[in-house]
Amino acid sequence: MELRQAGFELLLLCLFGLCNAQPQQMPRRGSVQNPALGGLFNPLEDSLAVQFKQLMQGPVKKLTWHFPQAPERPKQPVVHFERRQPVRVSSVAAECGESAVHVEVQKDLFGSGELINPSDLRLGRCSAVGEDSSAQILIFESELQQCNGVLMLTDYELVYTFALHYTPKTLDGMPVVRTGSAVIAVECHYPRLHNVSSNALLPLWIPYAATMVAEERLVFSLRLMMDDWQFERPSNQYFLGDVMNIEASVMQYNHVPLRIFVDSCVATAVPDMNSVPRYSFIENFGCLADAKLTDSTSHFMPRAQGDKLQFQLEAFVFQEQRSGLIYFTCFLKATAASVPTDSVHKACSFAANRWTTADDDDRVCSCCDSNCGLGDGGRMPPVPGPQWEGRVSFGPVWVEEKLPVWQQGYVN
282, 159: one domain: no
Model confidence, pTM: 0.49
Q: Is the pLDDT of residue 194 over 50?
A: no
Is residue 51 assigned to a domain? no
Asked if residue 316 belongs to a domain, the reply is yes
Looking at residues 387-407, what average pLDDT do you find? 75
Q: Say whether pLDDT at 203 is over 70.
A: no
Domain-ending residue, one of 175, 205, 235 = 205
Q: What is the pLDDT of residue 321?
A: 75
- 195 and 235 housed in the same domain: no
Residue range 192-200: mean pLDDT, rounded = 44
Q: Is 190 exposed, middle or buried (0-12, 13-18, 19+ CB in 10 A)?
A: middle
**Are 235 and 156 members of one domain?**
no
Residue pair 346/367 in contact by the 8 Å Cβ criterion: no
Distance CA 406, CA 247 (A): 36
If asked whether residues 197 and 301 sit together in one domain, one would say no
**pLDDT on residue 158:** 80
- pLDDT tops 70 at residue 411: no
Within a domain: 82: no
Identify the domain boundary among 174, 205, 236.
205
Whether the CB-CB separation of 225 and 245 falls below 8 Å is answered with yes
Specify whether 249 is located in the same domain as 272. Answer: yes
Residues 130 and 239 in one domain: no
The residue segments making up the domain with residue 304 are 218-412
Same domain, 409 and 311: yes
pLDDT tens sequence across 255-302 = 678 999 999 999 998 888 999 889 999 999 999 999 999 889 999 999
Mean local confidence (pLDDT), 59-66: 72
Count of domains for the chain: 2
pLDDT of residue 125: 86
pLDDT digits 0-9 by tens, 125-155: 899 999 888 889 999 998 888 888 888 777 7
Q: What is the pLDDT of residues 112-121, one digit of tens each?
A: 777 888 888 9
Element (H, E) at 280: strand 278-283
Q: Fill in the DSSP letter of residue 342.
A: B
For residues 178 and 259, state if they share a domain: no
165 and 226 assigned to the same domain: no
* DSSP character string of 202-255: PPS---HHHHHHHHSPPEEEEEEE-TTSSSB-S--EEETT-EEEEEEEEE-TTS
pLDDT higher than 50, residue 207? no
Asked if residue 317 and residue 235 are part of one domain, the reply reads yes
CA diameter of the chain: 179
Alpha carbon distance 101, 103 (integer Å): 6
Q: Cα separation of 318 and 267, whole Å? A: 10
Is the sign of the CA dihedral 197, 203, 204, 205 positive or negative? negative
Position 408 pLDDT exceeds 80: no
In this predicted model, which residue has the larger pLDDT, 313 or 394? 313
Is residue 58 predicted with pLDDT exceeding 70? Answer: no
- Residue 126 is given by DSSP the state B
